[in-house]
Amino acid sequence: MKTRNGSITAWAVLALVVLASVGAVSAAQAQSQESIEVGTEDTGDIGILAVEELGVMYTDGDADTASVTTYGPITVPPGYNTFKAKYYNSNDEDNDGQGALYRLTVYDAQGMAHTKQIKVDWATSGTIEVSFDSRGTGDAYYELWCETHDWLDTTKATDIGTGDLDYV
C-alpha cells in the first residue's frame, strides 16, 4: 500500500509540475503577442513632428464668391506631419441647395498627393487636415481649393492657392 501511495504522490507532483510549466509558457506567449490594428501603418518614427496651418478658404453663398489665402512658404522636418487649413462658408441657409466644397492637397517629398475634401450645405466653419509621412527630405508644395455652387451643383465661383513646402 505504501508503494501505491508513493506512486500516486509522485504522479500528482509530476502532473502539477507539467501543468505549471504549460501555464508559464502560455502566459509568456500571451505577453509576447503584438497588438496589430487593421488599417494603420507603422511609420517607425517618434510621432507627429509638426502641425502646420497652411491657409484659409472663404465662400459666400449669397455673393457667389470664393477666396483662398495661403500662408506662403512652409518648412517642416521630414517625417510624420499634420497640415491644416481653415474654411468658412457664409450666407448659406441649411438645405437651401447652395453649398461649398473645400479641398486641401499636400504633396510629400516623393511627389505623392495627400488630399482631403469636404462638402457643406449650410453656413459653417471648421478645419480640414491631412497627416502623413513625408517619405524623406525635399521640395514639395501644397494646394488649397474651394468652390461655391447653387442647388443644381452649378459652379458659381472657385479659387485656388498654392504654396511652397520644404521637408528639411
Pair (74, 28) in one structural domain: no
Q: Residues 51-96: pLDDT tens digits? A: 999 999 999 988 999 999 999 999 999 999 999 999 999 998 777 7
Pair (112, 59) in one structural domain: yes
CB of 63 closer than 8 Å to CB of 43: no
- Supply the pTM of this predicted model: 0.70
Place of cell 514639395: 140
SS3 150: coil
Does 43 map to a domain?
A: no
Pair (134, 69) in one structural domain: yes
Which residue segment(s) compose the domain that 1 sits in? Answer: 1-38
Pair (26, 96) in one structural domain: no
Question: Which pLDDT does position 14 carry in this prediction?
Answer: 55
Pair (23, 91) in one structural domain: no
CATH number at residue 107: 2.60.40.2550
b/e 90-115 (16+ beta carbons within 10 angstroms → b): bebeeeeebbbbbbbbbbbbeeeebe
Domain count of the fold of the chain: 2
Pair (86, 141) in one structural domain: yes
Q: Residues 14-49: pLDDT tens digits? A: 555 555 554 544 444 433 333 333 333 444 545 678
C-alpha cell at 74: 512652409
Pair (91, 154) in one structural domain: yes
Q: Residues 94-117: pLDDT tens digits? A: 777 789 999 999 999 999 999 999
